[in-house]
Structure 1
């Protein structure tokens, strides 16, 4: 068992928080969108059962404290618009991987940069990580641009 607890983080416009079972419909809306899933190595979800399964996996990760999984919600409305995950931790060299998705209706508004910045700040300062890696499809120029703005290198 590790010590990776998912806290609640806030930014000017967002709240990053643990997922709950009540997030199933909003999470399904994100991951059933073909535009969101275009560069993923999985097909868009076809039923809310996929969201329920993902939430169950997140709840398991919270219980065993093996990953940090955030639901990203708009602070003003409380709508869940995406996810950010710090996962595949390697304790020996204090590194992990970063995963994220944002519903296409919220692209181009700076939300991804804002959410990732908060999660990375938590990872480097609170979890004392040395390195965070992100694996993206090389055709996903928008995601690459977000990561480059945050200091990632190819």
Structure 2
């Protein structure tokens, strides 16, 4: 078992990327209930803060323990508030490490997903010794496709995954 202390805090001009903790339930609840955010994610909306707490423990906090890494909470420096997440998650279903991100809608269109992802890539390469990442993207999520395009990822294939049952998702891959 790994400790979340192995996940370094990362910093950009506007963001602090830190490990999620048990105090982030409110932010996780909002990230899992706002329709605009979950529209392309495939997740069912969270029904309660208790369910958000369970999700927090089953996903990012568990990922830190099992893999030694996982999604980062994105903290907006100007307010010290969690505004989303970004980072790497090992996806058992496709046996790949995925770079993912979600932001509250009021932070969309500001380049923050790209900024956060650019902070994560050197960590993935230099610390985690990964040589490749993928991003699974709903075909209608053009903003997300623009983010990975800026990072040099390319469309590799389309696959069906269990979370998104209405369409295949695009697998965009990038070498590190």
TM-score normalised by length of structure 1? 0.87
Write the mapping of 1:50-61 to structure 2, written as runs, cut at 5 A. Answer: 50-57=51-58, 58-61=60-63
| Consecutive unaligned residues in structure 2, runs of 5 or more | 156-176
Structure 1 runs (4+) deviating above 4 angstroms are: 1-4
User: What CA RMSD, in Å, does the superposition of the two structures yield over aligned residues?
Assistant: 2.1
What secondary structure does 1:135 align onto?
strand
1:123, 1:131 → 2: CA distance? Answer: 9
2:108, 2:91 → 1: CA distance? Answer: 28
2:32, 2:23 → 1: CA distance? Answer: 16
What secondary structure does 2:27 align onto?
helix
2:134 is the alignment partner of 1:144 = no
| Consecutive unaligned residues in structure 1, runs of 5 or more | none
TM-score normalised by length of structure 2? 0.77
2:106, 2:36 → 1: CA distance? Answer: 10
User: Of residues 69, 74, 77 in structure 2, which corresponds to 1:75?
Assistant: 77
Kindly indicate which of the two structures has a greater share of residues assigned to strand: 2
The CA deviation at 1:6 is 1.9
Greater relative contact order (Cα 8 A, min sep 6): structure 1 or 2? 1
2:89 is the alignment partner of 1:87 = yes
Q: Number of residue pairs matched? A: 150
Q: Give the corresponding residue for 1:62.
A: 64
Q: Deviations over 1:72-116 (max 9, x none)?
A: 1101211101112312279xxxx6222221111110111111111
